[in-house]
Every structure is written in structure tokens, then in C-alpha cells.
Copies of this chain bind each other. A is one copy, B any other.
């Protein structure tokens, strides 16, 4: 399924209805939306571009990975950062929005892969949820290295523990798993499990470190990158990632890139505060 050419599954503009919106942790929520057309065609690692408010003062959509698909609903795991995500946190069952999706190229994990290591920092767990379920369903052995500031913020832990063979944790404050960065966990798992592929998403500095670990270990690494996005469909060139083949658009050429291709030039989204 992951090797399906994206061009066969074109994005649509779909009216979506909020089915549930639950707070999972301080500043983190899970939004469930009825979106039959997107749910039917989205692949792991793809995202939706949400129009959160209809006013003119906030004129851009906001991109969110599809975390899971359940029936004709899609789930989005979100962190409250600014006005868009604040408005999102205020949505209630029955509210309507519109979404463009599915967008982008997701995780391309070839059929031959037997063991995959997923590395998630904070909300980086979002695009890895569907992937973990998908790989497990295909019989791939999945290990997960999951990091967050606190135990409470390990928001996708239950999903990963359900489908993965092994989930190892790191928290800044040591409230779950080891105290420290998820990159220590990923280094250990890379060495111990000898995965065929590493899939990583999280703050760019962390993703880059994991990519280096994978390169050192000679393991292929895919990384999902975030950029500020205007159109989300490839038209505006606001979201470029510097790669060995030039500046590519995260929204259509990514958001998942082969880590080998990425030139880490500090052009990531400015750090959250």
C-alpha cells in the first residue's frame, strides 16, 4: 500500500464534521473528524490542510498529519501553539470545517522490510501512528522509540504499545522511561534490533541526529519534515526543504524525505516557545 503512486489518489476539498475533540494532556488534543473521502484514500504519513476559522484575519490553513483512520473518520493529534491550534482546541462535536487531503508523499516502506524502527519526539508521534498500524498489519516487526517532555505527554504510547513489538520511552524529567533524549533510545535500538529502516519525526534537531545514527549504522532512514505552508498543494513554494536535488516542496515532494537526500541547513520552522 505504501508504494502506491500518490498521483492515483488525488486530494479533494472535503467538508468535515467534528465527531470528538478530547484533551489528552496539557496543550495536546485528539480531534476526530468524519471525512469519508479522505479516510478512504489517505496513506500513512500524509496530511490534511485544515481551514480552522472562516474569518479573514487568519487567512492560512494549517497542516496536520493524519494520525489514524477509523472507518470514515480521521484522527489528528495536535499541540496548541498559536491561534490556529487554540481555535482547533475549541471545536466541539458537530462543528464543521473543511479539509484538503490527503496531501503529500507518505512513508515509503518497501515490501521487503522485515523490521522497522519508528522514532518519535513529542508530536512527531502523529504521522507515525498510522504507519505503525499499517506495518504491523503487514507483518513487519515494529520497534518504537518514543520521547516527550513528561510521561503525560507521551500521547500515542497506547497505540504504539498495542501494535509494536517493543516500545521504549524517554522523558525529559524521567517521569516515564529513561530521563533524557529519545536519541539515546534510538541509538540503543538501532544497535540492538538492526532494523531495515528507520522512520523518524520530531523536532528537526532530533530528526537530524537520528538520521546521522542511521547513516552511521548503514540503515535507510526516512524523515518527516515540517515547514510553514500556505497552499499545501505545491503551488506557492513556501514550504521548501533543501535537498541534494535542490529545494523541494515539503507539501508534495514530502513531507517524508529520504534522510540521505536532506541538506540540514537550519531552514526548519522556528522553534516553538
CB within 8 Å of B: which residues of A?
55-57
Closest B-chain residue to A56, C-beta based?
B57
**How far does the Cβ of A51 sit from chain B's closest Cβ, in whole Å?**
15
Chain B contacts of A56 at CB under 8 A? 57
Q: Which 4 A-B residue pairs are closest in the complex by CB-CB distance?
A: A57-B57, A56-B57, A55-B57, A55-B55
**How far does the Cβ of A10 sit from chain B's closest Cβ, in whole Å?**
32
CA distance A57 to B59 in the complex (A): 10
CA distance A57 to B53 in the complex (A): 12
Give me 4 A-to-B residue pairs in the complex whose CB atoms sit less than 8 angstroms apart, sorted by A's number.
A55-B55, A55-B57, A56-B57, A57-B57
Chain B contacts of A57 at CB under 8 A? 55-57
SS class, residues of chain A in contact with chain B: loop
**How far does the Cβ of A92 sit from chain B's closest Cβ, in whole Å?**
13
CA distance A56 to B56 in the complex (A): 9
**How far does the Cβ of A105 sit from chain B's closest Cβ, in whole Å?**
35
Chain B contacts of A55 at CB under 8 A? 55, 57
**How far does the Cβ of A90 sit from chain B's closest Cβ, in whole Å?**
12
CA distance A207 to B222 in the complex (A): 73
**How far does the Cβ of A83 sit from chain B's closest Cβ, in whole Å?**
9
CA distance A57 to B56 in the complex (A): 6
**How far does the Cβ of A52 sit from chain B's closest Cβ, in whole Å?**
13
CA distance A55 to B56 in the complex (A): 10
Closest B-chain residue to A53, C-beta based?
B55
**How far does the Cβ of A226 sit from chain B's closest Cβ, in whole Å?**
26
Closest B-chain residue to A57, C-beta based?
B57
CA distance A81 to B95 in the complex (A): 25
CA distance A56 to B58 in the complex (A): 9
CA distance A55 to B55 in the complex (A): 9
**How far does the Cβ of A266 sit from chain B's closest Cβ, in whole Å?**
31
CA distance A55 to B87 in the complex (A): 11
CA distance A56 to B55 in the complex (A): 10
**How far does the Cβ of A155 sit from chain B's closest Cβ, in whole Å?**
29
Closest B-chain residue to A59, C-beta based?
B57
**How far does the Cβ of A133 sit from chain B's closest Cβ, in whole Å?**
39
